[in-house]
Structure 1
Amino acid sequence: MTASPPSWHLGIDIGGTKVVLRAESADGRTEEHMFSWPHHEDGPDSDLALLSDGITTLAARTGDGFQAAGVAVPATVGPDEQVTSWPSRPSWTGLALGPALRALVPGAAVAWADDGDVAALAEAAAADCADLLYVGVGTGIGGGLVLGGRLCPGPGRGSFELGHLVVELGGPVCVCGRQGCLQAIASGPATLARAGELHGDPVTYEELREALRTARPWATAAIDDTCRALATAIMGVTELLHPSLAVIGGGFAAGIDNLVDRTATHLASLSRPGRPAPPVAPARLGGLSSLQGAVLLARAVTDGAVPLL
């Protein structure tokens, strides 16, 4: 008697300090596993060993293998599948990511995408919107675009690096080395640094939130610059690719009252005749966007909607 193929899809969300795995079966069962991911100085082998252990632990709970796996990665990866940059784990630079991931889940179809890309995939499904732009405002700026229900530009062609879209010529220096990237202006650390300069003293996240609640001018000005930069990036994408909806997520954005509304106001001012701004809404899935998106990526691989690595 021939055994039936595995019915589980695996999503892996690789973060800076932790990894979360979620398995979903065809009949609606779910299993999750999370583990911390400390930094290692001896190269990616130790990291990959921890990933392998985590997958093995989850597979033991499912009692079966995995039909497909989708992986959300924060690294910048070139079309040749090699990691070109990962500031928090520089030892991964040059690693052939495709073969490494396939080795972790032998026998399964595997696809990877930037964590912002898969977050967009999940948010598009949650909003029932086939053409959606996702903006994640946190330690950096993540982004992803879904067009016609599929990731753009799509696995294998590189990630949708919204954070490194230049929105201010001659602007602040970004960690990538350029000036005026969205991330250098609108990320959480960049916003806090600007708030501190305007205030005259360093500012914590909670201090900024409290100052916004009491309408302190320095706090309002700092956030206004962030929202203007976000709106500029969203409008730039809109001019070229016409998303129907823009959603803003990420940990920093989630705690700032009216950040979405402020961004929408700036976006409306950038509209031109015949090219209205898309509506802007908060992300629906919060911190689960990338994990849910990784599972959806695995399902899309099974359906042939994205290429394999």
Structure 2
Amino acid sequence: MKEANETLATDFILLGLFPNMRFVSILIYAIILIYLTAVTGNFTLLLLIAMDLRLHTPMYFLLSQLSLVDLALISSTVPKMMINFFSGRKTITRLACGTQIFFFFTLGGAECILLTLMAYDRYVAVCNPLSYVVIMNHEVCLQMAVVSWIGGILASTAHTIYTMNLPICGSREIHHFFCEMPAIMKISCKDTSTYELVVFVMGISFIIIPFGLITASYIFIFLTVLRMKSPQGRKKALATCSSHLMVVSFYLGPCVYLYMTPGSSHSPEQEQAVSVFCTVLTPMLNPLIYSLRNKDVVGALQKVLGKHPVSKQNT
């Protein structure tokens, strides 16, 4: 017990991203570029939604919350990885490790809930448009945001407390580029099979159930779209929904692999590759998907840049 307590008080060692990779520096520089793109894209989207009154709608309010989550998610892992790479240091303090786990699960849980609520928003907009303003009022939108954040915090607190109290009796080397629960569970000298079942149940709550609700929402949406007589109405409805579906598939798919399948079946390289997709690529892709495929966002950007055709007509 004394040895375990002493081990718990020491720093961990992050082996980094694909430590055995020959040209890992190229990958690191690519991730830095992706990070800068993600920060710029999400910050720009947040700024446009705040500045343009036409984007002050429930859909864009929820989108702004998603951008805020993505901005924080990628910033909770990549900066530390860059510092370790350029400094040559691989250590991370126990407090910093616990902080990474807490924010990672808080933001991941909040994103799962947000994606579900965004699907509900699209369901109301397409299937019940006459009552949309009443159902999705400002108070309801604020409640949705609060529920997302609180849900993520509650789940994250439980995961963080358990993970950071695991005894590490041997090597303190974490085969990852950031502190993640499955990687720490692998170096623990405690049998974590029971907790893996708990993680599976939590995965059902935050991944499978949201995916089921999102699927149900879109089934009703597509049935409603098929009954629309206006081709323009169909096109507009499908355009706004397709962006959200792409984001859902990019995020929930890898999460199923990481948290709904046995950890013993994953190699460290596989877990790192999937984590890079979830925590680095997805936060970059989300603002690009919503901006490039959305005329309102593109119009708001053109207006800010002074190139909006409407503003030119009014001057």
For the aligned pair, the TM-score class normalised by the smaller chain equals 0.3 to 0.5
Which has more radius of gyration?
Answer: 2
> If the length of structure 1 is used for normalisation, what is the TM-score?
0.34
> If the length of structure 2 is used for normalisation, what is the TM-score?
0.34
Structure having the higher helix fraction is 2
